[in-house]
């Protein structure tokens, strides 16, 4: 990364006066474009945030207030007890632990396995390359619902049915086709010359994978990590079917409890939703750092 910066700095300072003028006019143009962009993006952002505003408003009011004044009215009175009730009766500490454990074990495991598989698919020529790739794509196209019963039987045979461990194999496997697909795509954009050069220098494929491909794919990896972590955090159907005991339920399954057969506790539910998305938003903000521009540019230039 340092490399990039220095090269760019050098180039800037060596630019001629004419070019500087050009750059200046381009900068003015850019400023105008940026202002327009801001206006447009802010307007969109407001629309996109609307549901979040409703969640917050609903979570800080009483049920009676919500019912008689409507969902979109300003709360009469700010009530924070929903959070306490949601946390306590919702058993969130357990759900948090379970969902976090899942993310910690599942997400890196899945992405590493997928990346390993994507490497030969993207950068090696061998007989069944194409066939294997298509074979993985089939997994992308099949709706998961029809595999639930066989999966449950399998987990029972493995003796992990009903526990959190039962979720790891299906979660990893349902992520695999997509992740292989994405990583293969990104690996393909890495110039093969880099690998060739390293091979001539005596690097092994194993070394190439870890020292060239993986670092170069950092933005893609961070992106996949975010996508996968969010998907895992919010996955409902598999968790619902494979986990029966309340002790091993995950966050989205836990949220269902605020909806009864005959009525829903909207205010507590929304408090629960807010509680449940806090860790994942934190994770997202943290991971965003790794998606910054220029992380890869330096290495590619050499």
Partner 1 sequence: MSTITDELLPNRPMRRRKRIRLTPYLFLAPALIWYLIFLVYPMYQSLVISFMRWDGLSADIQFIGVENYRRIFFEDDTARLALRNNVLWTLGTLLIPTTIGLMLAVALDRKLRGRTVLRAIFYGPAVLPLVAVGMIWAWMYNPQFGFINYVLKSIGLGFLARGWLSVYETALPATFLTAVWGGVGFPMVLYLAALQAIPQEQYEAAKMDGANSRQLFWNITLPWLREANVIVFSLAVINSFKTFDLIYTMTYGGPGRSTQVLGTWMYFHAFQYYNAGYGAAIAWVIAAITLVMAIPYIQRMSRD
Partner 2 sequence: MFDRKNLMKLLALTMLVSLLASACVATPPQAAAPAGEQPAAAQPAAGGEQITLRWANIIDATGQEQWKAVVDAFQAKYPNIRVVSESTAGSGAAIYPDVLKTSIASGSPPDLFFMWGGSIAQPFIDAGQVMDLGPYYDKFGWHGKFAPWVVERIKSDGKLYGVPYHALGMGFWYNKTLWNEKGWSVPTTFAEQEELCAKMKEAGMYCVSIGGKFGWHTMRVLDYFLEHHCGPELHDKLNRLEERWDHPCVIDSYATFQKWIDNGWVVPDFLTVSPDDSRFPFFAGEAGLVLEGVWYEGVLKNNEQNIADYDFYLPPTDHTPLRFSAFPEQWMIPSGAAHPDEAALFIDFITSPEVQTQFPINDFANSATIGVNPDCNEWPLTCKWREIILSAEDTYPPTDQAFVKELMDGFFEVQDAIVAKRMTPEEGAALMQRRVEEWQAR
**How many Cβ atoms from other residues are within 10 Å of residue 55's Cβ?**
16
Residue 9 interacts with, from partner 1, partner 2, none (CB under 5-8 Å by kind): none
Give residue 12's Cα distance to chain centre.
36
- Map residue 80 onto helix, strand or coil: coil
Q: Does 252 engage in binding with partner 1 (CB under 8 A)?
A: yes
User: Which DSSP symbol is given to 145?
Assistant: G
For partner 2, the closer CB: 40 or 153: 153
Closest CA to 274 of 77, 80, 100, 101: 80
Residue 285 interacts with, from partner 1, partner 2, none (CB under 5-8 Å by kind): partner 1
β-sheet bridge partners, residue 259:
264
To partner 2, the closest distance from the beta carbon of 91 in angstroms equals 8
In whole angstroms, what is the distance from residue 71 CA to residue 76 CA? 12
Q: Contact residues for partner 2 (CB under 8 A)? A: 62-64, 67-68, 70-71, 89-91, 101, 105-106, 109, 112-113, 116, 148-150, 152-153, 156, 159-165, 168-169, 204-207, 240-241, 244-248, 256-265, 268
To partner 2, the closest distance from the beta carbon of 206 in angstroms equals 4
User: Which DSSP symbol is given to 75?
Assistant: P
* Contact letters for partner 1, residues 172-211 (x by CB under 8 A): xxx-xxx-xxx--xx-xx--x--xx--xx----x---x--
Residue 132 interacts with, from partner 2, partner 1, none (CB under 5-8 Å by kind): partner 1
To partner 2, the closest distance from the beta carbon of 19 in angstroms equals 48
What lies within 8 Å, CB to CB, of 270 at 6+ separation is 54, 55, 56, 58, 59, 82
The two three-digit tokens of residue 295, written as one number:
């992380």
User: Which 12-41 residues touch partner 1, going by CB under 8 A?
Assistant: 19, 22-23, 26, 29, 33-34, 37-38, 41
In whole angstroms, what is the distance from residue 257 CA to residue 248 CA? 14
To partner 2, the closest distance from the beta carbon of 168 in angstroms equals 6
Residue 291 interacts with, from partner 2, partner 1, none (CB under 5-8 Å by kind): partner 1
- Per DSSP, the residues of 182-247 read HHHHHHHHS-HHHHHHHHHTT--HHHHIIIIIHHHTHHHHHHHHHHHHHHHHH--HHHHHH--SGG
Q: For the chain, how many residues are written?
A: 302
Q: Does 134 engage in binding with partner 1 (CB under 8 A)?
A: yes
For partner 2, the closer CB: 32 or 72: 72
To partner 2, the closest distance from the beta carbon of 110 in angstroms equals 10
For partner 2, the closer CB: 42 or 245: 245
- Map residue 294 onto helix, strand or coil: coil
β-sheet bridge partners, residue 264:
259
Q: Does 100 engage in binding with partner 1 (CB under 8 A)?
A: no
For partner 1, the closer CB: 195 or 248: 195
To partner 1, the closest distance from the beta carbon of 55 in angstroms equals 6
């Amino acid at each position: 990364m340092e490399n990039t910066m220095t090269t760019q700095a050098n180039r800037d300072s060596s630019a001629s006066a004419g070019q500087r003028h050009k750059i200046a006019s381009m900068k003015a143009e850019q400023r105008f474009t940026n202002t327009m962009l801001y206006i447009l993006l802010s307007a969109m952002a407001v629309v996109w945030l609307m549901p979040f505003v409703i969640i917050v408003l609903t979570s800080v009011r009483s049920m009676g207030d919500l019912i008689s004044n409507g969902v979109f009215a300003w709360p009469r009175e700010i009530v924070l007890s929903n959070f306490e009730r949601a946390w306590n009766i919702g058993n969130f500490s357990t759900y948090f632990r379970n969902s976090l454990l899942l993310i910690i074990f599942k997400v890196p495991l899945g992405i590493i396995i997928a990346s390993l598989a994507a490497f030969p698919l993207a950068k090696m020529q061998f007989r069944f390359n194409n066939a294997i790739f298509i074979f993985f794509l089939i997994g992308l196209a099949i709706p998961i619902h029809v595999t639930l019963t066989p999966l449950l039987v399998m987990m029972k045979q493995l003796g992990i049915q009903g526990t959190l461990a039962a979720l790891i194999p299906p979660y990893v496997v349902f992520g695999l086709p997509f992740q292989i697909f994405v990583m293969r795509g990104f690996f393909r954009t890495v110039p093969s010359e880099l690998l060739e050069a390293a091979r001539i220098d005596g690097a092994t494929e194993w070394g190439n994978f870890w020292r060239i491909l993986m670092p170069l794919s950092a933005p893609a990896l961070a992106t996949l990590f975010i996508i996968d972590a969010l998907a895992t955090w919010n996955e409902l159907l598999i968790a619902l079917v494979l986990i029966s005991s309340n002790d091993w339920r995950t966050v989205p399954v836990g949220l269902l409890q605020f909806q009864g057969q005959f009525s829903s506790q909207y205010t507590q539910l929304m408090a629960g939703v807010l509680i449940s998305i806090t860790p994942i938003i934190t994770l997202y903000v943290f991971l965003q750092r790794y998606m910054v521009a220029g992380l890869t540019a330096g290495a590619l230039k050499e």
